[in-house]
Amino acid sequence: MSARTIVGVSGGVDSSVAALLLRDAGEPVAGLFMRNWADDGSGDCRAEDDRRDAVAVCGRLGLPIHFRDFSSEYWSGVFEHFLAEYAAGRTPNPDVLCNREVKFKHFLDAARELGAERIATGHYARVEHAGGRWRLLRARDRSKDQTYFLHQLGQPQLAATLFPLGGLEKAAVRRLAADAGLPTAAKKDSTGICFIGERDFREFLGRYLPAREGEIQTPDGQRVGTHPGVFYFTLGQREGLAIGGVRGRPAAPWYVVGKDVRRNVLYVDQGADSPWLMSTRARTEAAHWIGGAPPAPRFDCTAQTRYRQNDEACTVTVDEDGSLGVAFHRPQRAVTPGQSLVLYDGDECLGGAVIAGTDAPLEARLADLAA
């Protein structure tokens, strides 16, 4: 019997258990391993190890496995945008683009070319069909929920996708893998950006965006150090600043509070909740709506401006060009241009958009200087 569902097997425990659950449910299933990043000669790419683990898992489960190389699609659809955003001083989220452009586009096309009707992945999320439309819902295990990274999916993708882990706790997934003798049962979860892996982020980015040293200043213009390039840093970051004792300042940690790419100046302040980091409003690029349209021209909901953030109440206004104005009900820390603002109604993910700017005081000042 040909496979009706193709599971994206990554060589990790989550996709391994997704395949296990579908097989045990009697679903005609096969695996597909995606290579999304070409070997760059650094010796840090884990793709071959992951491929071997994916083959071993499918062998253990008695499932056929297919292979596809999407590295060129990843480069043009994800990585070029990633570099352009960093060069502009923004902080992109490539995992969101990877899901939209590769895992739920090229992977889905490949599965259909193999004769399958749908795909499955090891993401922690749920899909429900109600009221004539597909809804993307948070996972039962809120600590692992990945709907933030899936908010760019639409009705065609959700109609053709299964998330077998959506109702499970991570500990239960590990137990199922161990009980089935899967070789990935104790494998460490991957962290960080997929194509960077465990390597040094600054060294990696420096291959594509050459370092240009500049000043580190406080918002009032006091010079407190130097930096290797403003695009290596993001709002709210504490690590890597290498600021020593500063005369007249307390011995307290420093945090990035702003970036002036044009003048190559990095701005810092002391205190994790510095007022220079706080904003109450954000504006976005054109939004994507999972249901096809916003719930109303103006509505209340909750938002996340970064992964694993607690829900924050807000009021959303949809502009004529599809962009959003978002007023938070309480001040937010380090809302970062380039990151995703994702909207929720309870457990349902409504969609989201890329953050274009905020009313943080330093951002407004830098905008005036650039005008």
Active site residues: 98, 194
**Residue type at 337?**
P
Residue with tokens 């940690």: 253
Residue with tokens 């997934």: 173
Whole-number Å distance between alpha carbons of 334 and 237: 9
Read off the tokens for 297: 């021209």
**193, 49 Cβ separation under 8 angstroms:** no
**301, 350 Cβ separation under 8 angstroms:** yes
Whole-number Å distance between alpha carbons of 84 and 261: 13
Terminal alpha carbon distance of the chain: 64
**Residue type at 22?**
L
Burial status of residue 340 (CB atoms within 10 A of its CB: 0-12, 13-18, 19 or more): buried
Whole-number Å distance between alpha carbons of 82 and 272: 27
